[in-house]
A and B are shown apart, each in its own frame.
Chain A
Amino acid sequence: MSAPEFMQYACWLAYALLGVAVAFTIIRLAAGPTLADRILCLDTVSLLAASGIGVFALESSIYAYVDLSIAIALTGCLSTAAFARYLLSRKLGANS
């Protein structure tokens, strides 16, 4: 098997694994008992989106997507911090 062909199969496998991961996370996002669980799920989804964009940058060799992936990952971290501050300021209880 040649190297580009191997890379293509590896990218398809990676897309499948990331799709399953997003499905798991969205099940937890719908079911999560507290608001902190849902914030955690949003953080995980942003990390998974950045991973998918990174795989696409490798598959298509358009490396401008690397910047996009870094930007989404950093924005996800910042939004998690902002949601955590919001959670602290609202003083939400265990069942909300």
Chain B
Amino acid sequence: MMSDLATFLAAALIVAGAAFSCLAALGVLRFPDVYTRLHAASKAGLLGLGLIFLAIAVSSGDPWIALRAIAGAVFLFLTSPLAAHLLANAALKTGIPPVSNTNNLGLPPS
């Protein structure tokens, strides 16, 4: 009975995670410039993968596998925003323009 409950919870979590990944890809397709696309890809995509790792941790029933999945999610939540920040920094410094109705970036013109 308990393992049935865990299986239903894991099924709901993987569908939610895949839906968040699909919304992230829709944002990558539809948003107007690279900075807004980074918002969609880094936040929603990371949340989708995090939910799938959480589903593995719930459903496996083995504490070591659950610990591994959660440690993977934590490492991912540490490194992926770093990569997104580096990419946004590089895009800004190489002069890729933001969409035209962006107001003050707070940076001197380079």
Q: Which of A's residues lie within 8 Å of B, judged by CB?
A: 3-4, 6-7, 9-11, 13-15, 17-18, 20-25, 27-28, 34, 36-37, 39-41, 43-44, 47-48, 50-51, 54-55, 57-58, 63, 66-67, 69-70, 73-74, 77-78, 80-81, 83-85, 87-88, 90-94
Contacts and interface: CB of A to CB of B under 8 A. Distances in A.
Interface of B: 3-4, 7-8, 10-12, 14-15, 17-19, 21-22, 24-26, 28-29, 34, 37-38, 41, 45-46, 48-49, 52-53, 55-56, 59-60, 62, 65, 68-69, 72, 75-76, 79-80, 82-84, 86-87, 89-91, 93-97
**Main SS class of interface, A:** helix
Given A40-B38, A54-B52, A87-B94, A17 B69 contact: no
B29 A92 contact: no
Contacts of A91: 94
A23 to B, nearest CB: 8
B7 A14 contact: no
Q: In the complex, which of the residues B14, B17, B25, B86 has the most CB atoms of chain A within 10 Å of its own CB atom?
A: B25
25 contacts: A9-B11, A10-B12, A14-B15, A17-B21, A17-B22, A21-B22, A24-B22, A24-B29, A39-B87, A40-B38, A40-B87, A43-B83, A47-B24, A48-B21, A54-B14, A63-B60, A66-B69, A77-B79, A83-B87, A84-B87, A84-B90, A87-B90, A93-B95, A94-B95, A94-B96
